Amino acid sequence: MLKVAYTESGLHIERLNQSVEEWISLRVVLALRTNRRLMVEHGRASILLPMSLPSLPSLETYLKPEEVETIAISICDDEFVEISLQGIWISSCMSEAEGMFVVALSPRTELVLLQLWQASQTCTFPIWR
């Protein structure tokens, strides 16, 4: 499963060896024991990646037929592509932009997405042209 953490300073992606159900169950128990509010709902999350990543075209080759409903790839402009994922959004408030998003994909697709995101973190982007 992939976990995407959306924070004030950006996003962070990690790959976990738990099922989505197990992970959510643990979060619910933690919220109950700490008397915290927890909102869990189906939703979509997006990851913006630079088109200049050499391994970006390999993502489509690793998608399995059953993942076509879960992941969408859209070209944003000349420089970026948006990866849109369908999964579970978890936050302390429905209107909050910070929270976590989890999605289960095939192990290979998860690994490729994680590697693409990690590679994008080392890219430099021109501010002015």
Residue 18 lies in a domain: yes
Residue 49 lies in a domain: yes
Task: Average the pLDDT over 93-114 and give the result.
Answer: 88
What tokens were used for 109?
């697709």
Residue 128, pLDDT above cutoff 60: no
pTM of the predicted protein model: 0.85
What tokens were used for 10?
């950006």
Residue 117 lies in a domain: yes
* Number of domains forming the structure of the chain: 1
Residue 126 lies in a domain: no
Residue 129, pLDDT above cutoff 60: no
- Which range, of 15-24, 36-45, 87-96, 110-119, averages the lowest pLDDT? 87-96
Residue 47 lies in a domain: yes
Task: Average the pLDDT over 40-49 and give the result.
Answer: 93
Residue 129 lies in a domain: no
Residue 128 lies in a domain: no
Which structural domain, as residue segments, surrounds residue 116? Answer: 2-121
Distance CA 87, CA 93 (A): 17
Integer-rounded Cα Rg, in Å, for the chain is 16
Distance CA 100, CA 90 (A): 5
Percent of the chain with pLDDT over 90: 67
